[in-house]
Chains A and B, each alone.
Chain A
Amino acid sequence: MTFTTLTFLIFFTVVFALYWSLHNRRAQNVLLIIAGYVFYGWWDWRYCGLMIAASFLDYFVGLGLNKTEAPWKRKLLLTCGLTGNLAMLGFFKYFNFFAENFQALAASLGWRVDPITLNVVLPVGISFYTFQTMSYSIDIYRRKMRATTQLLEYLSFVSFFPPLVAGPIERGTHLLPQFFKERLFSFQQAADGCRQILWGLFKKMVIADNLAPIVDAAFTNPSAYNGAELVLATFCFAFQIYCDFSGYSDIAIGVAKLLGFELIRNFAYPYFSQSVGEFWRRWHISLSSWFRDYVYFPLGGSRVSKPRMAFNVMVTFILSGLWHGASWNFLIWGALNGIGVLPDILRPQHSKRNPSEIPVEQPGAVAIFKVLITFTFICFGWVFFRAQTLGNALLVLERIGTSFLSAAGGLLGKHDATDGRVFIVLALLVALEWVKRAHLHPLVFDRWPQPARWIGYTVLFWTIVYLGTYGSSTFIYFQF
């Protein structure tokens, strides 16, 4: 079930009505579990088995960790939990990649190995909920929290449907306690949730989905386009993936707010970053912080020598690249971003600013220059992220390098169904996000009188209706 469908609207209306008509917290949690499994099983009911397996594995690991104090036993239990989760992830996500590459390696050495790849379909959202359950076990192991003995609340936490298939990746320390609290309906929270949903739908349906045909055409067959067209396609992809993914997060956070929950922030206007390091503190924050807390810090983080710190950064970013998918492109993309982050990390007084401390002062020319340089670097990485093969990525870069000074009109003429209007809307989005960058999302007009606010929301709603794309396209991050 996708957020942009009528099916979801009907589903959520029913869930919302039932949820708030129940005055018992535990009954609400039962409803949320049922809703979570219906939402997830809508793709394929067989996927539910995986989610149940992941849930129970970490539930029992957590209970075991609660009961034991012996370090070796605790370590063993955690290893079992992590192995189970990673095995599931590895089988569905990486088995074919490693089997194919092993075969290619063997062939290069003159050995003939029969391919043993399986036609495994990647279950939607598996990378998200396995990371969520893994963080639960690790946090208990680290004694940051106690494991819950309440199965109902725990299952509600894992199957909570708004962030289930594309994040934000929640932590047990943040989300789980909310299932133990009585939920009181808050007008402010619900209204803000509605605004965030509207903004998410706008980004996804008006911008991301209208940019998609331009990007798809260029990256499916890059040899048919010149350098300028490929630069344009890369620029379009930068905003397509931003609006698609942050749009999903906005809708998920908004839907959760309507149910009385607060999810963690996942995007903080990342394209206004002045360095690659800052970008990664503002882009897919829940994943970046996951890798920081569970990979980078255990490796020693920044409390080690500079070469070791650089090594830690590279390992973290390469793993983060591979989290997105099993391909050399993602590995290179991760490594590129790791290299991009190094100057920021290795500086004696590097910034550790967190995303809630976004600079809102008016930037000077130097800052704007840094933003543009960072954006260009990030776009360079997106080429590897988006291209279907490594060959295609290199071809895109080669053509950009050799025929940059050419006209880009052909790509738009053929594949921009909006006759350029999407770029006007995109410019307005960037402007609005810039003006509102101090807020969690841009639709905050507290000082406006209500009629003016409603006119604004109405214009936005009808812009979605008028310019939106209502195809069956899903969100890009569902594939991860």
Chain B
Amino acid sequence: MRAFLKQFGLFAAIQLAIAVIVVWSYRRQYPSAQNYLAASIDKHALIRTQEPPRLIFIGGSSMAFGVNSAAIAEACGRRPVNMGLHAALGLQFMLNEVEPNIRPGDWIIVAPEYQQFIRLGQSEMLVNMLEIDSANARLLDRHEWAGAFDTGFIQRFGKIARAVIGRPGRFFRKNTMSRSTRLYYRRGGFNQNGDIVAHLNETPRGLREKEFQFRYRDEMVQETIAQVNRFAKNAEAAGAKVFFSHPPLPREVFQKNRATISRLDAELRAKLTVPQLDSAEEMVFPVEYFFDTWYHLAAAGVEKRSQLLASRMAQRSKGENVAR
């Protein structure tokens, strides 16, 4: 037994040493303090320190790339906190980021991407968030921890290894991020309210990804609606108000998925307990309004969507004042 453990330990130590070198090279090539997800550190600081009355935006990258939060907040006399970051984090994680920081009088717009209704957060992405800030551990629920242990940690390490081994020429180099990462997908690409602004003066690059397909999954949809309702109930108990908004989509993409999105919309109208600011169709824009993928709006799209949301929030604000 002792001989086996000695040999096995030595072999494992060699692999561990290689792993350490791989991670070291990765960190040099892709410094995590400056990467896109590291913007969560600033967003968490913002939600802790922003003075009330506040308008908090929850969503994935469609929220990060998709609004002028200051203009919308101004329309209803509030200060913006845009928590939008990445759809793959999953809605539960996004809600968990905000819930402990809700203050009386907060207004919150929840605008999940359509995928949030049919998919959970990606374990690898959640492990990446732990890597960026270990304090994020408290934001993971039981299922997310199980996913992280099942596949997340291994997936994350696999991704790091692939990035390093796949490009041996860059092994000793620093900051080897792609052009788009250097320009937009970085911590410094956000403004002080949490909106991505680095891309606003750039020409839209066209949709590059695989075809968007929204496959309706009833069980997940019901669970997600219940999740938003639970969050709204807790927020209300803390003196805040929650609204729902739809994510933006290019017209062609929407048309292809009209049937399933309409089915989702019908469920939302029937079961969501929070007011809806818009319809799915109102958030459909020409493809030229999108920057590099569906959900990511370019400057013109950001302006249009923000105008619409600002007018809706202004109405809500007036309604509230009248009611008072």
Q: Is B4 within 8 A of A191, CB to CB?
A: yes
Collect the chain B residues with CB atoms within 8 Å of residue A470's CB: 124, 151, 154-155, 158
* CA A150 to CA B159, docked complex, whole Å: 49
* CA A465 to CA B162, docked complex, whole Å: 8
- B153 CB-CB contact with A under 8 Å: yes
Interface of chain B: mostly helix, strand, loop or mixed: helix
The stretch from B8-16, B133-141, B178-186, B258-266 touching chain A is: B8-16
Given A20-B1, A191-B7, A466-B166, A7 and B161 contact (CB-CB distance below 8 Å)? no
Q: Is B4 within 8 A of A190, CB to CB?
A: yes
Measured as residues with beta carbon below 8 angstroms from the partner, the interface class of chain A is: 20 to 34
Collect the chain B residues with CB atoms within 8 Å of residue A461's CB: 15
Q: Is A462 within 8 A of B1, CB to CB?
A: no
Which one, B4, B14, B123, B162, contacts A466 given CB within 8 A? B162
- B237 CB-CB contact with A under 8 Å: no
* CA A144 to CA B265, docked complex, whole Å: 65
* CA A184 to CA B230, docked complex, whole Å: 55
* Binary flags per residue of B158-173, CB closer than 8 Å to A gives 1, else 0: 1001100110000000
Q: How many A-B residue pairs have CB under 8 A?
A: 56
- B131 CB-CB contact with A under 8 Å: no
Q: List the A residue with the shortest CB-CB distance to B15.
A: A461
Q: Is B4 within 8 A of A187, CB to CB?
A: yes
B249 to chain A, nearest CB (A): 23
Chain A 430-480 interface residues, beta-carbon cutoff 8 Å to B = 454, 457-458, 461-462, 465-466, 468, 470-472
Measured as residues with beta carbon below 8 angstroms from the partner, the interface class of chain B is: 20 to 34
Q: Is B161 within 8 A of A462, CB to CB?
A: yes
Q: Is B4 within 8 A of A471, CB to CB?
A: no
Q: Is A6 within 8 A of B153, CB to CB?
A: yes
* Binary flags per residue of B1-33, CB closer than 8 Å to A gives 1, else 0: 101100110010011001000000000000000
Collect the chain A residues with CB atoms within 8 Å of residue B161's CB: 462, 465-466
Which one, B3, B7, B14, B151, contacts A6 given CB within 8 A? B151
Q: Is B151 within 8 A of A194, CB to CB?
A: no
Q: List the A residue with the shortest CB-CB distance to B164.
A: A466
* CA A6 to CA B154, docked complex, whole Å: 7
- A185 CB-CB contact with B under 8 Å: yes
B218 to chain A, nearest CB (A): 13
* CA A99 to CA B150, docked complex, whole Å: 37
- B146 CB-CB contact with A under 8 Å: yes
The 9 closest A-B CB pairs, nearest first, are: A470-B155, A5-B150, A185-B1, A465-B161, A470-B154, A7-B149, A466-B165, A187-B4, A470-B158
Residues of A within 8 A of B (CB): 2, 4-7, 10, 20, 185, 187, 190-191, 194, 454, 457-458, 461-462, 465-466, 468, 470-472
6 A–B contacts from the bound complex (CB under 8 Å): A6-B150, A6-B154, A465-B158, A470-B158, A471-B151, A472-B123
5 new A-B contacts, CB < 8 A, other than A5-B154, A7-B150, are A191-B4, A458-B18, A462-B18, A466-B162, A470-B154
